[in-house]
Structures are given as structure tokens and as C-alpha cells.
Structure 1
Amino acid sequence: MRAAEPVHVWVDLTNSWGPRSEPGVLIGWRKGNLGWEGWVIRVSTYSTGNGSAVHVVQSWIPAPLIRRAATDPPRADISQHKRIGG
């Protein structure tokens, strides 16, 4: 793993870049079989049946699903967001 300066990022596993995007911190990079991946610690929200709760997840995320954070969650128009990574 190549260490990175911790960077505040948005992660969207759906690649739709909207309200389902999750905040996270990028802490490293590696070259995987399908391209670059970032080691990200992110906060995920889920339904409890009586509302919602959050949990922290750390995992390798494909680089195209990671965006450097601005002040607001990313929009579907990703041209407005800086892409990071390999």
C-alpha cells in the first residue's frame, strides 16, 4: 500500500454522485487487478426499521468511486468535482 496524506473524500458505490454519497477519509492507494483503489474509512448510514443509524466501514474502493470533498455532497455532474487518484 502506498500511504497518502489523509484526505477528506466522498465515496459513492452507486457511481451516481448524489444524496447516497458517503463521507470518508482516504488513507492509502494500491494498484489492484482492475486499476487503482483507495483505502477509505467512510461513514455509512443504514435503516434500523425505526429510523437510521451509522457505522464506520474501512475498505478498498475503486478510484473512480472516490472524489475529493468540497463543502457539500457531490452532485451527479461529476465534472464539478476534482478526481483524485491513479
Structure 2
Amino acid sequence: MPRTPPFFVWVDMTGEFGLRSAPGLLLGWRRTPESKLSARKDSAWQCLVIHASEPAPYSPESMNVYQSWMNPAHVRPIEVEKPTPRKWKTKSR
């Protein structure tokens, strides 16, 4: 994954990166401090992402935009093409 933001990413909170992956823009990185409440004794990286998502019933007219710090496991560089169920065909003239 590129290290210098900003760059385009796919966002998928399920981690499956399938048909419901959303386009996003990774804006920055931060390292979270060690948590006394967590079993982890080290810090973790997070990325600041702005992404668009369609709420159910998945209508393009009802697109929402979110900004959040998230685990890098939920993002992938945009150079990986989004999977599609079929190839779109254009009408030839």
C-alpha cells in the first residue's frame, strides 16, 4: 500500500473486498497510543479515510459520505479493480 497520502482506496468493513466495497480517499496515518484497558501492549496504526457508502436498500440516490479513523485491514489501494458480477457492454453505433 502506498505510504504517502492522499491516495484512492477501496473500503470494505467486512474485510472481504467484494461487490459492496466502497470507493474512498486515504488522507493520513496515525499511531494510536498503548491502551491500558487493552490486552495489546503495543501501539497500532490507523488511517483517516473519507468514503462513500450506499445504505440499504442500496440505491445510488441515497449515497452517504463518511470520515473516520479505521484499521488499515479495511482498505486496499484503488489500483486493484473492484470485482463486478458481469462485464458491462456498451451499445455499438
Same-fold call, TM > 0.5?
yes
Q: TM-score, normalised by structure 2?
A: 0.65
CA drift of 1:44 comes to: 0.7
TM-score for the superposition, normalised by structure 1: 0.70
Taking only the aligned residue pairs, the percentage that are identical comes to 37
Unaligned runs of 5+ in 2: 35-42, 85-93
Q: Secondary structure at the match of 1:64?
A: helix
Matching of residue 61 in structure 1 with residue 82 in structure 2: no
Question: For 2:54, what is the secondary structure of its paired residue?
Answer: strand
**Secondary structure in structure 1 of the residue aligned to 2:73:** helix
Is 2:20 the counterpart of 1:11? no
The code of the aligned residue for 2:50 comes to: I
3-state DSSP of counterpart to 1:46: coil
Q: Is the 8 A contact 1:10 1:74 kept in 2?
A: no
Q: CA deviation at 1:31?
A: 1.1
Distance 1:61 1:74, change over 3 A: farther
Shift in Å at residue 47 of structure 1? 2.4
What value does the CA root-mean-square deviation take over the aligned residues?
A: 2.2
Question: What do residues 32-79 of structure 1 show as CA deviations (whole Å, max 9, x unaligned)?
Answer: 25621100000011125xx6121110001101111110262169xxxx
Structure having the larger proportion of residues in strand? 1
Is residue 70 from structure 1 mapped to residue 79 from structure 2 by the alignment? yes
Query: SS where residue 9 of structure 2 aligns?
Result: strand
Give every structure 1 segment of 4 or more consecutive aligned residues whose post-TM-superposition deviation is greater than 2 Å.
none
Larger Rg: 2
Aligned residues between the structures: 70
